[in-house]
Each structure stands twice: as C-alpha cells, then as structure tokens.
Chain A
Amino acid sequence: GEDVEQSLFLSVREGDSSVINCTYTDSSSTYLYWYKQEPGAGLQLLTYIFSNMDMKQDQRLTVLLNKKDKHLSLRIADTQTGDSAIYFCAEIRTDSWGKFQFGAGTQVVVTP
C-alpha cells in the first residue's frame, strides 16, 4: 500500500472551511508538504511543515501535525471556487533527497 494516505474526495460550500487529512510513514526527520494541482497543470507548492512542528499558518492555510498519530491536516479558511483542485500530501525524508512520497490526492469540489 501507499506510505502516504489521503481521503479521495471532499465537497465543501463556498465560504466554509475545508479540512483535508493525510497520514504518513514513520520518520523522525521528515518534511511534510501540501501541493495543489489544477486540471492540466503541474503541482503548486502551498505550504510545508517540519516534523518537529505542531502547526503552521499561512494566510488562509493552516497545517496541523499530530506526530503521535502521524496525521497531517490542511485547513483552508473561507474556501473559494478557485480552491477547487486536487490536493496532494507529500513526505520527504532528509536522507532521501528529492524522493517525495505522494498520497493519492484529495479532489476538493467547492460548490456555490
């Protein structure tokens, strides 16, 4: 199975908050990333967190990390129609440079 797991689909109403969840593999030296992919495009780096942090906030985005449960979440406040995309959680170990392990992606659909 995949090392990084995500829920596959999320539907949210415009203006509400979205929460996308991810679980990752065991590593004490890891960076965890969130990427966004719109149709026909590459991956856009949204934010990332180091495994020794609990939370990171960047404008409408909040990343929460629960190291005990190896659970990562991305919260998008005031979700807009432009947030409709596939969101990928990814893990990279600092001893395996460039080798991201991606989740399957969560399709987020924002409805008016």
Chain B
Amino acid sequence: KAGVTQTPRYLIKTRGQQVTLSCSPISGHRSVSWYQQTPGQGLQFLFEYFSETQRNKGNFPGRFSGRQFSNSRSEMNVSTLELGDSALYLCASSSGLAGTILDYEQYFGPGTRLTVT
C-alpha cells in the first residue's frame, strides 16, 4: 500500500506570493491533517479535513486555507507569504472514523519544505 505523498518536496517563494501544497493520503483514508514544523514553534496543527469538510482548525491566520477533494486528496494554500512562513509542512492521513484502534493511526508524508525569501 502506498504511503502519504506530498508535492512538491521543496519550494522557494518570494514574500507576498502565494503557494499551494498538495497531499495524497493513503488509499482508503478519508481524513487529512496539516501541520507546520519550525525550529522555534515545533509542530503546530493547521487544520483537518474529512469528506471534503474542515472538521478541526488550529490557531493560524486566515492566510492559511485548505480544501479536500472527493478522492480525499487535499491542498493547502498560503496567501501573501511572510518570511515566518518558511517551514516544513507535513500532512498526515488516517481513516477519520471512530471505530477500532486502527482508525486512530495517523501516518505522515515526507513534507514540503517551503522557503520564503
């Protein structure tokens, strides 16, 4: 079974631009979560999507948005990039259901390294 894939792996953008990152979850998984990882703030939750609906949201400004498609693939968008948005963006997939303990396993992709100059 293929793992979680993220594209692109590396990205360099200029302050003020916008960026879109993509995540394809494990086949059969319907929940996709996004995290930002920085040396100063660690791993911070951005948002979670399940069946094309945002189900949970972290404490990030409105410049950070996301969506999920009917095939469970998800994208996140950051508009008006700031230098502080430079980070590793990780997505994770899980079943999204509250059934057996296996439903609570969350698997991460390799991340997209975003550098804002």
Total contacting residues, chain A, CB less than 8 A: 24
> How far is B107's CA from A23's CA once the two chains are assembled, in angstroms?
22
Stretch at the interface among A10-18, A59-67, A100-108: A100-108
Question: Does B2 reach chain A (CB closer than 8 Å)?
Answer: no
> How far is B52's CA from A21's CA once the two chains are assembled, in angstroms?
37
B56 contacts A98, C-beta separation under 8 Å: yes
**How many A-B contacts are there with CB distance less than 8 Å?**
68
Q: A31-B104, A97-B96, A99-B58 are in contact. Are A42 and B42 (CB under 8 A)?
A: no
Task: Give a binary string over B31-73; 1 marks a CB under 8 Å from any A CB, 0 the rest.
Answer: 1110100000011010010100001101000000000000000
Chain A positions 73-109 with a Cβ under 8 Å from a chain B Cβ: 88, 92, 94, 96-105
B108 contacts A97, C-beta separation under 8 Å: no
Q: A97-B31, A98-B48 are in contact. Are A42 and B108 (CB under 8 A)?
A: yes
Task: Find the B residue at minimum CB distance from A94.
Answer: B98
Majority-rule SS of B interface residues: strand
A42 contacts B109, C-beta separation under 8 Å: yes
> How far is B116's CA from A75's CA once the two chains are assembled, in angstroms?
39
Q: Tell which of A48, A50, A96 touches B105, judged by Cβ atoms closer than 8 Å.
A: A48
Task: Give a binary string over A13-32; 1 marks a CB under 8 Å from any B CB, 0 the rest.
Answer: 00000000000000000010
B43 contacts A99, C-beta separation under 8 Å: no
Tell me, rounded to whole Å, the shortest Cβ–Cβ distance linking A82 to chain B.
Answer: 18
Chain B positions 62-117 with a Cβ under 8 Å from a chain A Cβ: 90, 92, 94, 96, 98, 101, 104-111
> How far is B50's CA from A94's CA once the two chains are assembled, in angstroms?
15
Q: Tell which of A42, A43, A96, A104 touches B56, judged by Cβ atoms closer than 8 Å.
A: A96
- A43 contacts across to B, CB distance below 8 A: 90, 92, 108
> How far is B44's CA from A4's CA once the two chains are assembled, in angstroms?
12
Task: Find the B residue at minimum CB distance from A50.
Answer: B101
- B96 contacts across to A, CB distance below 8 A: 97-98
- B94 contacts across to A, CB distance below 8 A: 98
A100 contacts B101, C-beta separation under 8 Å: no
- A57 contacts across to B, CB distance below 8 A: none
> How far is B110's CA from A41's CA once the two chains are assembled, in angstroms?
5
